[in-house]
Amino acid sequence: MSESKGFSSSFGAIAAAVGSAVGLGNIWRFPYICGQYGGGAFLLVYLCFVFFIGMALMITEFVMGRRTGRTPIFAYESLVQSPKQRLWRYAGLLGLVTSFLILALYLVISGWTTNYFAESLVGAHIGLDSVAISDHFDFFSTSALRPIVFIAVFLLITGAVILGGVQKGIERVSKILMPVLVVLLVVLCVRSATLPGASAGFAYLFKPDFTQLTGQGVLAALGQALFSLSVGMGVMIVYGSYLPKDDNLLKTSIWITVCDTLIAILAGIAIFPAVFASGQDPAGGPGLVFMTLPVVFNSMNPADGLPIGTIFESIFFLLLVIAALTSAISLLEAQVAWGEEYKKGKSQRTRNTIVICLLMLALSAILSLSNGVCGNFTIGGKSLFAFVDQLNSIYLPPLCSLCAVIFLGWVVDKEAIRDELSNHGTIAIPWFKGFLFLVRFVAPLALIIVLVTGIVNSL
């Protein structure tokens, strides 16, 4: 892959990769499960998992991508040492399918987020109580047309960035959006921390309660570590192929992991002190964003005068749109890059982007309709939306990650891995044996536990 097609700088690469990792899950999922499973106790376990197993998986995908300069299917093909091992290409195909399904579901939720941002700008939630806001979300999410319109709007923006290419599209936009996201988060954190009763929210997030840290909580921490870093879907293989050849993969992975974790913690600081200050239920899960938080922001509005709460609601949903956009960009790029490489022509990018966007719009529309007018169609007793969500959250990413670590740890030539990590012997890597041990033994065992546990719990 030519240098001009890759990221132009380490900062651009980090901003894009952090953008891929930071998504809607960081904003609501991490704070919620952190509080549910012991606050600070969960955070300590999570940090161990994310900086060892999660980061090892990220480095694994970066090595595969940069070593070959190719997308997942072709990366696996390029790294095998004998024709008999070419079956590993199907692991790359699995990653491509995973990113496709995740993006389809992600677009539905991103459409909801875009709609709520638009509504907040016109004060659509002012004066609504918790029941009215809950009914509003139920009516909107099960509607036939409006959610699809906002999916299309969001997808149009995402596709426009991809059409700009790696440097002029993805890298340029990431360099702008990630700092903006952090600034918006800090603004919300300051406001949330100064509310009366905010201390209960901080205690919920950070006070260690080891009595709440059950075995299920430990598994949740491991699952969140994988989910949070955007590994297990082939995206980091694609972004790895764009990394500069002189980039230190360990340092880049550390930066991405630190930034991703910091943003998740800031999201908790922005959300939960405000939730407790307004007397709302913090155990809202996905509904926390669309049903609980609008009530929280409403409670900040004075009886007369400037609607401060609604202003902060607009800031919050703009933050969510940015987080959703940066992740959607990486997922769509994984699809477009594969099509571009498959056809071996730069001129294919525009056509690929349009075709894939149309396919994504169709599938996302079907998933959205399964929440409402097509809700009678079920698979295993679940709506199509819930079924795809289960595939994405329980089965596919851990399975893809398991394939990647087994492949790199046991199939790829060890000296090739050493050569890539050391930038052809130009930097010292005293941690190489430890990394190889994690990839060969620790990560596969952890992923098998997560996968088996998820399957058992879903039955």
Structure tokens at 293: 């938080």
Give me Rg for the CA atoms of the chain. 22
Whole-angstrom Cα distance, residue 234 to residue 96?
6
Under 8 Å CB-to-CB from 266, ≥6 apart: which residues? 182, 185, 186, 189
Q: pLDDT at position 311, please?
A: 93
Please check whether residue 335 is in contact with residue 96, taking contact to mean a CB–CB distance below 8 angstroms: yes
Looking at the DSSP bridge assignments, the partners of residue 379 are 382
- Of 103-117, 189-203, 361-375, the range with the lowest mean pLDDT is 189-203
Residue carrying structure tokens 């609607």: 307
Closest CA to 275 of 294, 251, 256: 294
Closest CA to 14 of 244, 228, 324: 244
- Residue 243's region, left for phi above 0, alpha for psi from -120 to 50, else beta, is beta
Confidence of residue 275 (pLDDT cuts 50, 70, 90): confident
DSSP-based three-state secondary structure for 194:
coil
Over residues 368-411, the pLDDT tens digits come to 999 999 988 889 888 999 999 888 888 898 999 999 999 999 99
Please check whether residue 241 is in contact with residue 79, taking contact to mean a CB–CB distance below 8 angstroms: no
Structure tokens at 150: 């906002």
DSSP-based three-state secondary structure for 399:
helix
Q: What is the mean pLDDT of residues 186-190?
A: 91
Which domains, and CATH codes, for the chain? 3-458 (1.10.4160)
CA atoms within 13 A on the CB side of 385: 19
Structure tokens at 36: 């549910």
Confidence of residue 419 (pLDDT cuts 50, 70, 90): very high
Whole-angstrom Cα distance, residue 94 to residue 98?
6
Please check whether residue 267 is in contact with residue 31, taking contact to mean a CB–CB distance below 8 angstroms: yes
Please check whether residue 267 is in contact with residue 201, taking contact to mean a CB–CB distance below 8 angstroms: no
Structure tokens at 270: 């922005």
pLDDT at 238 over 90: yes
Residue 410 CA: distances (Å) to CA of 113, 250, 253, 307, 438:
42, 21, 22, 59, 12
Which residue type is seen at 212? Q
Over residues 307-345, the pLDDT tens digits come to 888 999 999 999 999 999 999 999 999 999 988 887 765
The total of other beta-carbon atoms located within 10 Å of residue 377's CB is 10
- Residue 452's region, left for phi above 0, alpha for psi from -120 to 50, else beta, is alpha
Share of the chain above pLDDT 70, in %: 97
Q: pLDDT at position 347, please?
A: 59
Closest CA to 431 of 210, 257, 161, 250: 250
DSSP 296: H
Whole-angstrom Cα distance, residue 281 to residue 429?
48
Q: pLDDT at position 336, please?
A: 93
Sign of the dihedral defined by the CA atoms of residues 288, 294, 298, 300, in that order: positive
pTM comes to: 0.92
Whole-angstrom Cα distance, residue 73 to residue 234?
9
Whole-angstrom Cα distance, residue 312 to residue 278?
14
Averaged confidence pLDDT in the chain: 89
Find how far residue 289's CA is from the centre of its chain: 16
| DSSP per-residue codes, 105-126 | HHHHHHHHHHHHHHHHHTTTTT
Whole-angstrom Cα distance, residue 313 to residue 205?
21
The residue with greater pLDDT, 386 or 212, is 386
Find how far residue 429's CA is from the centre of its chain: 29
Which residue type is seen at 239? Y
- Of 89-98, 165-174, 273-282, 405-414, the range with the lowest mean pLDDT is 273-282
